[in-house]
Structure 1
Amino acid sequence: MIGLIIVPAGGVLADPQPTISQAKAKLEKLNDKADKVVDRYNTATESYKDAKKRYDKLNDSYKRKLSTVTELRQQVVAMAVNGYQVGRDLTTLPSLVTSDRPDDLLYQMALTGRLSQERAGMLAAFDRENRGLKAERDKAQAALGEADEERDKIRQERAEVEKLVTQQKKLLNRLGAYRAGDPNSTGIKYTGPASGSAAAVLSFAYAQVGKPYQFGGTGPGGWDCSGLTQASWRAAGVSLPRTTWQQWAWGANRRVSLDALQPGDLIFSEGLGHVSIYAGNGKIVHAPQTGDVVKVVALSSYGRRLVGAVRP
């Protein structure tokens, strides 16, 4: 018996759609990869900001020194002209002999000497400023070059992130699981066991629930994972670095066991691609990944493997 193959109109068989389990498995891999790329992107962004800040500082110094040099030059020129006018022919013997008022002439000579010493000091200062100016200018140029390199890195990282985000969105839409979120969400009220600084941290984080995950997001309308943790602890008066890697390194002396978590602790995934905040009672609040929103979930349902925790 000969079997028949039904070919769709157009004569080309469509690629088989992945099963839900296959799509979810692929999405999990994309999320893991995106976590790492986003953190590299954030790190490159922070490096660029630091390099730009250094350049701006050196450039301001350059401008101040340039202003000083210009002022010194004007003073030196003015004193040279004045010294010539006051001192010419005054120090010759005929002038001293024929002068009607030799006391005045001696005074003028003494004044000219003082002006000469002052002018010499000005010239020395002028020379020092010029040498310092060149050194500062060279530093500023080096900082600018560094900033340009970092900017190039950011462009490359951003392109890779945007490609991953597009793939994630397609998969989520195919699964019917894409959540756009509400940038104006007022979140939910925290009623857990935290107190003190941790209570302030979690009150802020819970107020962000429902807002979209956004790579590179630092609020107020969208967040990535480390942007949320940074802002939440800032609400309690603690300044954390920007990226997941930086926050983990910052907390080197503040590590705590995953078996002894307290509300407000930062929980890091293996590979340091993601960070969340422990809310107490076995729950965490976090900004998960593209196509999802800031939300509260059970730590036990957290899909990523954990590497450790930090208590700011």
Structure 2
Amino acid sequence: MIATGVVASMAMGAGPASAAASSVELPEGMTASYLVVDQETGQSFGSDEHKQYRSASLVKLFIALDYLESHGPDYEIPADDLALLEPMLRSSNDDAASTLWVRDGWEEIVKRMVTELGLTDTAPPTARGKWGYTAISAADIVRTYQYIEHEANPKYRDFILSNLAQSTKCGSDGFDQSFGLPSAVPGPKAVKQGWSGFGAAPAPGEQCTETDAQVLRVLRSPEVKAATAVASSGDGPTGAQDIDLTSRAMHTSGIVGGDNGKIVVVLTLEPTTLSWQDSAARITELTRNVYYDCAL
């Protein structure tokens, strides 16, 4: 059975323009929302872009931006903090995210970003230690990229986007994070991936073994150990929340084409019966179709 995407309205902050008319088919069992914005023309294309999903690692965009804005543009980031921020952005390191989450105020990070960016669908997790259960939407993640690229201090923009442009093939947890945009679309990209519900590590034989020791470096300090004892991406039991915390989540997002390029956000939920490889193949194909069928 095939579900069909529906054209969406403009994302907040994208400016007035007409939306491209098209549709994208979804594989059976997949729930998906997506939004593409051409920053040159202001045109957009999407489906169900205000539907809420658990963020998984996309919340790391908020964590990084909040860190930079809280310290100011003249702040020289210490080497120890670079060892958290860089692996978090490039290799989606969870221990780094947990450390900054706890240090900088837990759910207050999300609340500050909602206010600062004017997000409409984003909300903190019900269980404050589970940062990956932050509620987001495709529209709000598009808005986040717009803010970073055009409204944030240029130092913050350059730091975040340059690190996303160095996204590694392997996540710090051993999962291959080259699904979606990195595999579906050619050319320069600054990307942030997210996944949840696949377990703490890949199944035997499925590990991603290409590593960059410098990028994947994370401090093994008392602060990191203490933070990871009380905060995590969120896989596991939690209190009630008005988003799906059961299905496997896999998200791809970023800016394609360099400065002022297209912003692409694809959020998906998959049945727990699907493997990592199957889910990765399905979101990659969907992302390819969304990007090329939108004709922006």
**TM-score of the alignment, normalized to the shorter chain, above 0.5:** no
Which structure dedicates a bigger proportion of its chain to strand? Answer: 2
TM-score interval, smaller chain: under 0.3
Which structure dedicates a bigger proportion of its chain to helix? Answer: 1
TM-score, normalisation: structure 2? 0.26
| Structure with max Cα Rg | 1
| Larger RCO (CA under 8 A, 6+ residues apart) | 2
TM-score, normalisation: structure 1? 0.25
